[in-house]
A = this chain, B = another copy of it.
Amino acid sequence: MSRIKPSKEEIQRVKDATEQIIRRINEKAREYGIPARAICVGSVARNTWIRGEEDIDIFILFPEEFSEEELRSEGLRLAKSVASEYEERYASHPYIHAFFEFPVGKNEEEKRVEADLVPCFAVRSASAIKSAVDRTPFHNDYLKERIKGLEDDVLLLKQFLRALDIYGSELKTMGFSGYLCELLILHYGSFINLLKEASHWKFGTRIDIEKHGTYKSEGKEPLIVIDPVDPKRNVAAALSTFAFCRFIDAARSFLRKPSQRFFFTEAEEAEMSKEAFLRKVKERGTDFVMLVFDAPPVVDDILFPQLRKAAISVRKLIERNEFVVFRHDFGAEGGKAFLLFEVFGELPAIQRREGPPVTVKVHAERFKRKHLALNHIVRIDENGRLFAEFERKYRSVVELLSDKRNLLGCSLGKHVSEAIESGYKVLKNEEIEFFEGIGKFFKRYFSSTVSNDV
């Protein structure tokens, strides 16, 4: 636990810093004559951050009467005015990632502290929000008292998920958000109880702490956790089926054989060398075909859904051309984005196209006419259907993907499509460049995704 739980000193330091930032913002607001006030939200507000991983989230609440434009300009002005340095960022709303340098803790050293400063509207209820960020203060209000006494369980859960690579609701990870973790612990009462219940979860498991009963699922979400403060919202909406199942699997394994190993992956995941990768390729006898292009200049939350969509669409293109795809994956590392397809070798020179049954006169005659005109051979199979034999256009996945028109006919997403339009490479096996981060990617690709304790 001591490896996960922040020390008293860390808590004191973070709390001190948070209070100072809030005080500064509130002072500036008075100075500027802006009717705004800052509050601390998230894991820092509720003592549920993992040791050394504090994310200080300060929300600056503005009256509802402000326009979006006023909120934006005044909110950012206020936030910028208190920071030593800052970056302007954008999620669903613009905010400031601020750096502070001030004496914190007992020893009065200058410490650099980072915090997100997020302007939002102080609406009456979470169902009356103007943007997603307006909801966060309500989450804070809901959990602040209720989670007391359960902080350690929240920390265990977060670390358990981190070790499984499914912590965080960003669209790259599609895992469990911090808020979701706290709600799950609140609902089931403890980390162990959660695992016990999760080991029996089914697709579409529904958790409705406040018994709102109003949320309508479209049936695609593996887990539904109705937001206590907003009955129309599923807190687990971003959770992938993969992450959901990985958690269930790990829960079962942990319960059978509890161990620290579930929280700390021994030796930080090593990079895989190119040599080791090529050994794997040879051992498996498959071909690894990578489509690489410059990562478009957008945040991961924009990029990853497009990569996911593109990978599935290109996989379908490959399969339509009769290649067998063993697995596919995608990623963005070191300024590059890529789609990866593990496929089965080459195809023969001929291709077969199935046609209609001979008895369907109009279609049979059309099929025959079309293929004979192209000098294809047409035959009748034992079930009385026509089929044509002709020369295959693409005998390898590399040939197929090297033709840009094929790719641009796929559903790639706007930015990925633009990036590919302006150039890409198709690399196979030993041609694959081991740029920054790719060794880690492959390490993960070849590792098991179930807990190997049974």
Which residues of A pack against B, CB within 8 Å?
199-203, 222, 240-242, 244-246, 248-249, 252, 283-286, 322, 324, 326-327, 344-350, 352, 357-359, 361, 364-365, 368-369, 372, 377-384, 386, 395, 448-450, 452, 454
Contacts and interface: CB of A to CB of B under 8 A. Distances in A.
A81 to B, nearest CB: 46
Contacts of A244: 384
A450 B379 contact: yes
Contacts of A350: 283-286, 326
A145 to B, nearest CB: 34
Copies of this chain, whole number: 2
Given A241-B383, A246-B358, A378-B448, 13 more contacts: A203-B384, A222-B384, A242-B380, A242-B381, A246-B380, A249-B380, A283-B350, A285-B347, A285-B350, A286-B348, A372-B452, A380-B449, A386-B450
B364 A249 contact: yes
A358 B285 contact: no
A348 to B, nearest CB: 3
Given A201-B359, A348-B344, A379-B448, A372 B454 contact: yes
Contacts of A378: 448-450, 452
Contact of A349 (B283, B379, B449): B283
Given A350-B284, A359-B203, A372-B452, A242 B326 contact: no
Contacts of A449: 378-380
Nearest to A322: B324
B347 A450 contact: no
A266 to B, nearest CB: 18
17 contacts: A201-B359, A203-B357, A241-B383, A242-B381, A242-B384, A244-B384, A245-B384, A248-B359, A249-B368, A284-B350, A286-B348, A322-B324, A326-B350, A327-B352, A377-B448, A379-B449, A380-B449
A383 B242 CA distance: 6
A283 B348 CA distance: 9
A357 B450 CA distance: 12
8 closest pairs, A vs B, by CB?
Answer: A285-B348, A285-B349, A245-B358, A245-B384, A241-B384, A286-B348, A369-B454, A379-B449
A347 B343 CA distance: 10
Contacts of A248: 358-359
A313 to B, nearest CB: 14
B382 A284 contact: no
Contacts of A452: 372, 378
A365 B454 contact: yes
Contacts of A368: 249, 450, 454
Given A241-B382, A384-B241, A450-B386, A252 B365 contact: yes
B361 A199 contact: yes
Contacts of A383: 241
A176 to B, nearest CB: 15
A203 B235 CA distance: 56
Nearest to A241: B384
A199 to B, nearest CB: 7
Contacts of A357: 203, 245
A377 B203 CA distance: 24
A384 B361 CA distance: 45
A192 to B, nearest CB: 18
A326 B345 contact: no
